[in-house]
Amino acid sequence: MSKKDWKSSLTDEQYRVLRKKGTERPFSGEHNFNFKKGKYFCAGCGAELFSSTSKFDAGCGWPSFYEAALGKNVKEVLDKSHGMIRTEVVCANCEGHLGHVFNDGPNPTGLRYCINSVSLNFDEEE
């Protein structure tokens, strides 16, 4: 999609995070304290990314998951911005910025996918 197409299909905040690699303020996102059963999808393209079964409260201020629902839908990219070396996670389908993954999560993976709420749409199980 073109920049114009992305701008017309996303909110200003979604565009800032997904396309410009921004981040939302901690504890401000709608999915941070959502522990309902369901699936999380990319707000940019609709690809399935995470399941509520792997969501946990990391206390960091962003929704956290210990694994991606479909590993092939989440891509890891080396991030050397802001004077740090981190692992960025993006949607493998649309390259939208989701957040970062860290090695301080719970078992069984030891990972913490720290994800911006505005990068996600939630579909609750009935």
Residue among 88, 86, 46 nearest 70 (CA): 46
Residue of 42, 45, 94, 114 marked active site: 114
How many beta carbons lie within 10 A of that of residue 62, not counting itself? 23
Domain boundaries, the chain: 3-124
pLDDT band of residue 30 (cuts 50, 70, 90) is very high
Q: Each residue of 41-53: pLDDT tens digit?
A: 999 999 999 999 9
Alpha carbon 7 to its chain's center = 19
Per-residue model confidence (pLDDT) at position 126: 84
For domain 3-124, give the CATH number: 2.170.150.20
Active site residue 114: yes
